[in-house]
Structure 1
């Protein structure tokens, strides 16, 4: 039994020595500074892209609201936002969102795949490329809804014409 405790004590002493070693602290500090700079670049990129799309830039800093604004930038109405909150649908919904965001700025579907896979790289590229926001057309889901409403209105107007005659 003492062998196990001796092993645990020796392991703990080695871990403390490793964590308090100045070289380890320096490596961790450099790594965290790099992560901070990358995150800052991504936030600045999203801020600028939201501004280009006509939304407030600060929205990229607010949890959940930033996803709602991303849904709007992609061209969806707000109904798509709750889908992004469902854990099992989240990867698929964000893949679709990134592709549609790329399309909204005039980029290819492959660029949208890049936005999904490496947002740290592709959001700054999208921001610095000078791409203009092109107010996306109605999404595939909203088109049938608009068509259906248009057909209903047309039928109503035809019935009103028939009643007048």
Structure 2
């Protein structure tokens, strides 16, 4: 009986944890002017994340090559951090502790600045 209760508690904890992560990705995508539903589609969500971080789409192919994928994933997360005005430490956090840093990025005060964190082609200034 105790094993069943422990199993149910573990399952509920895992489902809640996954819900927070999915919600975080959804909000990050929407902050970056991408459709939130795209965060739910495997492989496509990685492609969209590459685009949010201003990386070429063909980096998705690098994700399938052992060891090279470490570079591609790191570059993707660093690009996302820069696009939200964060530094290299934040990019490392997105990569190594996504369950902490993505909720902070999604539900914190970070806003999408554009590719490379420059605020788009106008350098963050409103266009006339």
Partner secondary structure for residue 115 of structure 2? coil
Among 53, 56, 60, the alignment partner of 1:77 is 56
Report if aligned partners of 2:53, 2:116 keep a CA contact under 8 Å in 1. no
Report if aligned partners of 2:82, 2:116 keep a CA contact under 8 Å in 1. no
Partner secondary structure for residue 85 of structure 1? coil
Report if aligned partners of 2:30, 2:36 keep a CA contact under 8 Å in 1. yes
User: Is 1:99 the counterpart of 2:78 in the alignment?
Assistant: yes
Cα distance, 1:92 vs. partner? 2.5
Q: Over alpha carbons, which structure has the higher Rg?
A: 1
Segments of 5+ residues of structure 2 without an aligned counterpart are 118-128
Q: More deviation in 51-60 or 83-92?
A: 83-92
- Residue number in structure 1 paired with 2:93: 114
Cα distance, 1:60 vs. partner? 0.9
Count of residue correspondences:
117
Cα distance, 1:85 vs. partner? 2.5
- Residue number in structure 2 paired with 1:135: 114
- Residue number in structure 2 paired with 1:48: 27
Cα distance, 1:77 vs. partner? 2.7
Distance 2:25 2:48 in 1: 11
Cα distance, 1:34 vs. partner? 0.9
Question: After superposition, what is the alpha-carbon deviation per residue over 1:2-47, rounded to whole angstroms, capped at 9, x for unaligned?
Answer: xxxxxxxxxxxxxxxxxxxx11111121112111111111111111
Distance 1:111 1:44 in 2: 19
Runs of 4+ in 1 over 3 A off after TM superposition: none
User: Is 1:62 the counterpart of 2:36 in the alignment?
Assistant: no
What is the TM-score when the length of structure 1 is the normalising length? 0.66
Cα distance, 1:112 vs. partner? 1.1
What is the TM-score when the length of structure 2 is the normalising length? 0.84
> What is the alpha-carbon root mean square deviation over aligned residues?
1.5
- Residue number in structure 2 paired with 1:31: 10
Distance 1:24 1:87 in 2: 39
Which of the pair has the greater relative contact order for Cα pairs under 8 Å at 6+ separation?
2
